[in-house]
Amino acid sequence: MRENYEIKRTQTLVMIGIVTGLIATVTLIIKIPSATGGYLNLSDFVIMVSPIMLPLGGAIFAAGVGCALADIAGGYAVYAIFSLFIKAGEVIIIKLLERYLDTRQRWIPFSLAALWMMTMYGFVAVFLTKSWPAFFVTLKGDLFQGVFAVILATIFYPRLQKLMKYLRGN
């Protein structure tokens, strides 16, 4: 029995490491140009579906640390501490509203998590620039990122959930 627990714990730690690395990687490498002059990436999508793959603490860690590492590696170290908490907040919001995830209203937790992300990065922009107009400039780019992630998460969540159940043998 103890041996099974150790195996399960090791598998969970490995999955946390994989998802953390995946979040950092999709943030840094997969960049889709957007109409706002910036780019979209898949990090928020991976963050939104991470609670399927990981326990709450692991998903929070993977989201926060994965994006913070991407910020540091990508030359945006000033955002790392903010990303750590903002992305962790996305996971918490989704987990708090998980009762909607198995319904047609699964877009609700994803949308609220995206709204959290957009609002918080807007406040970060105000904090860093000492200028309220920066909130709206940031919001424009983050809006596309958030909508993109919500659409992908809403579409792929049920499929990924089935895949994880299959992989776990449930």
* pLDDT tens, residue by residue, 134-170: 999 888 888 989 999 999 999 999 999 999 888 887 6
Domain extent listing, the chain: 2-168
**Triad 120, 116, 12: Cα angle to 5°:** 105
Report whether 24 contacts 66 (CB < 8 A): yes
Q: With 0.95 as the threshold, say if the pTM is over it.
A: no
Say whether pLDDT at 54 is over 60.
Answer: yes
The CATH class, in words, for 2-168 is: mainly alpha
What are the beta bridge partners of residue 39? 33
Report whether 85 contacts 94 (CB < 8 A): no
The CA distance from 93 to 14, in Å, is 24
Nearest to 43 by CA among 9, 74, 2, 5: 74
Mean pLDDT computed over 124-139: 92
Report whether 94 contacts 48 (CB < 8 A): yes
What sign results for the dihedral spanned by CA atoms 40, 42, 45, 51? negative
Mean pLDDT computed over 72-80: 92
CA atoms within 13 Å, Cβ hemisphere of 161: 13
Percent with pLDDT over 90 in the chain:
70
- pLDDT confidence of residue 168: 80
- The label of the residue with tokens 């424009």 reads 140
Give Cα separations from 115 to 17, 86, 147 (angstroms). 27, 11, 9
Confidence band for 6, pLDDT divided at 50, 70 and 90:
confident
Confidence band for 38, pLDDT divided at 50, 70 and 90:
low
